[in-house]
Every structure is written in C-alpha cells, then in structure tokens.
C-alpha cells in the first residue's frame, strides 16, 4: 500500500492517490525518508500535493534524509504554484541539515519568482545563514550558471549582502569570479567597486580567483589600476606559502602550484588585454 502511494504520487496520478488515501494515513516513506508529499512536491504535482495536505496536514512537517522538507524540494526544482500551496501550511524558515532554507535552494537554482514569493512570505529569510555562514546571495553566485536576475533581486531586497563573508572569507564576488559568471561579476562591481580588493582568509582577491581559473572575460572587467593591488596580494600569498612550507618542512609541490597560478595571473593581466 505504502509503495503504491509513493509511486502514484511521484507520477502525479491524483485519482489513484485519492483511492489509496482512503485506506491509509498517507505517511509512508521511501528509503530516503521521503513521503508522498516530498515526491509530489519535487515533481510539481499540485493536485496531488493539495490532496495529501487535505488528508494529512501533518505531512508538511515531515523531513527526509538531510532534514529536507517538501518545500525545499519544490523551491529547488522551481515549482512556483507548488511552493505557494506549501507556504499556506509551512514554516518557510525551516532549514535542512546544512542550514539551507527554501530561499537558499531557490537562489542556488536561479528561480526568481520563487525567491520573490518566499521573501514576500517571510522577509527575515534574507538573513538566514547556511553552513559556513553562506547567505542566499552566496548560493546564487556559487551556482554553475550566471543567475544575474536572482542576484539583482536579492540585492534589491538587502544591499548589505554584498559585504557578507562566508566562514572562509569569501564574498559573493569571489564566488562569481571563480565561476566565470561575467554578468554577475559586472553587477556586483557596479554596485560596490571597492569589493574587487576584498580578500578571503588566505589573502586571495576576486581577480585572483578569476585569473586562476582562466576566466579572461571576467578578468577584463577589473580596472587595470587595481592590478598592482592584486599582484601584491598574490605575491604576499605566495610568499606566505613558501615561508610556511619551509618552516614546517612541507613538500614544495603546493608552492610550485601557487607559482604556476601566479604566472597565469600575470599573463592574463598584462599580455591578454
């Protein structure tokens, strides 16, 4: 009975779900701890979600492996109408085991409309920190894609996010530069030009992060007048690494790698412009 409900909820067969719920409380779980509500929400099956919640409202509080809720899954997958249904029952501030709220998940996936819905429902979500003190803006910039519109939306809601650093000292600009997200880097620099000289806890600037990955288009966005600042930062980072390696009798290989990265940076800065 339980497996049948999970399967039909996943596939969105509302009529069959209704028949099975007449014989069950609807709280069956799969091997990952997901209920039928998790599975239906992840797929965006609104009718099934509505039926499950009407039958057993307590399902909204069910957490699967990693403390994942149905709202987290719907936000991550971009199902706006499903998110709206769940918000009528859910505490939108619930976080998974990594401290990620539905806003973190939506921002990471670049779902602008869901970001707007979540912030309208609970403006305090903008201040929520996930693991390593990561904000929703950090998640939007560390993503694999260039989520400029999501970044703009988050910053319009809370400009102070630009100044926030993670537990390793990275700003949103560090992440965007490292990922080669040209539009996002341009947006962040336009809003706060001084962020280009921000350093993480290892002394690396956003330009260092971009150049080390060979992102020429991102490197070109940084003013030439900042090169000396960046090169000084890189040189200092390299010097500290060499000193530490020698003092601790460590293998020289990490230092050789840093030297190679430094040469790449210099090449991008001075010969590819």
Burial bucket for residue 22 (CB in 10 Å: 0-12, 13-18, 19+): exposed
- The reported pLDDT for the residue numbered 28 is 95
pLDDT class for 226, splitting at 50, 70, 90?
very low
pLDDT in tens, 76-117: 999 999 999 999 998 889 999 999 999 999 999 999 999 999
pLDDT confidence tier of residue 244, bands split at 50, 70 and 90: very low
Please give the mean pLDDT across all residues of the chain: 87
pLDDT digits (tens, 9 = 90+) for 178-199: 999 999 999 999 999 999 899 9
Residues 63/74/126/60 CA torsion (nearest 10 deg): -40
First to last CA, the chain: 66
The partner residues of 35 in beta bridges, in order of sequence, read 29
Its pTM stands at 0.83
Instruction: Kindly report, residue by residue over 122-145, the tens digit of the pLDDT.
Output: 999 999 999 999 999 999 999 888
Segment 9-68, tens digit of pLDDT: 999 999 999 999 999 899 999 999 999 999 999 999 999 999 999 999 999 999 999 999
pLDDT at residue 91 in the model: 81
Name the percent of the chain lying above pLDDT 70. 81
Helices (H), ranges, 158-247: 172-179, 182-191, 206-212, 216-219, 227-247
Per-residue confidence (pLDDT) for residue 146, from 0 to 100:
87
Q: How far is CA 251 from CA 140, 243, 245, 246, 247, in A?
A: 36, 12, 7, 9, 11
C-alpha 128/C-alpha 160 separation (Å) is 13
Class of domain 2-207: mainly alpha
DSSP symbols for 86-102? HHTTS-TT---TTS--H
Residue 252 has pLDDT above 80, yes or no: no
pLDDT value of residue 270: 54
pLDDT higher than 70, residue 121 = yes
């Amino acid at each position: 009975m339980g497996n049948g409900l999970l399967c039909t909820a996943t596939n969105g067969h509302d009529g069959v779900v209704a028949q099975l719920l007449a014989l069950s409380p609807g709280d069956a779980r799969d091997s990952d701890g997901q209920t039928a509500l998790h599975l239906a929400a992840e797929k965006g099956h609104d009718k099934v979600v509505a039926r499950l919640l009407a039958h057993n409202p307590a399902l909204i509080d069910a957490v699967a492996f990693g403390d994942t809720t149905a709202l987290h899954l719907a936000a991550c997958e971009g199902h706006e109408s499903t998110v709206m249904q769940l918000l009528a029952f859910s505490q939108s501030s619930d976080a998974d085991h990594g401290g990620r709220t539905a806003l973190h998940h939506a921002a990471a996936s670049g779902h602008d409309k869901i970001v707007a819905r979540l912030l309208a429902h609970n403006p305090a979500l903008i201040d929520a920190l996930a693991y390593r003190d990561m904000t929703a803006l950090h998640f939007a910039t560390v993503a694999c894609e260039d989520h400029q519109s999501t970044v703009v939306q988050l910053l319009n809601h809370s400009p102070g996010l630009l100044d926030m650093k993670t537990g390793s000292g990275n700003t949103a600009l560090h992440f965007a530069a490292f990922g080669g997200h040209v539009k996002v880097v341009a947006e962040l620099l336009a809003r706060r030009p001084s962020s280009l000289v921000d350093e993480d806890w290892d002394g690396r600037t956003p330009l260092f992060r971009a150049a080390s990955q060979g992102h020429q288009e991102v490197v070109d966005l940084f003013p030439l007048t900042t090169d000396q600042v960046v090169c000084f930062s890189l040189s200092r980072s390299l010097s500290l690494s060499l000193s530490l390696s020698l003092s601790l009798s460590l293998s020289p290989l990490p230092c050789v790698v840093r030297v190679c990265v430094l040469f790449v940076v210099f090449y991008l800065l001075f010969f590819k412009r």
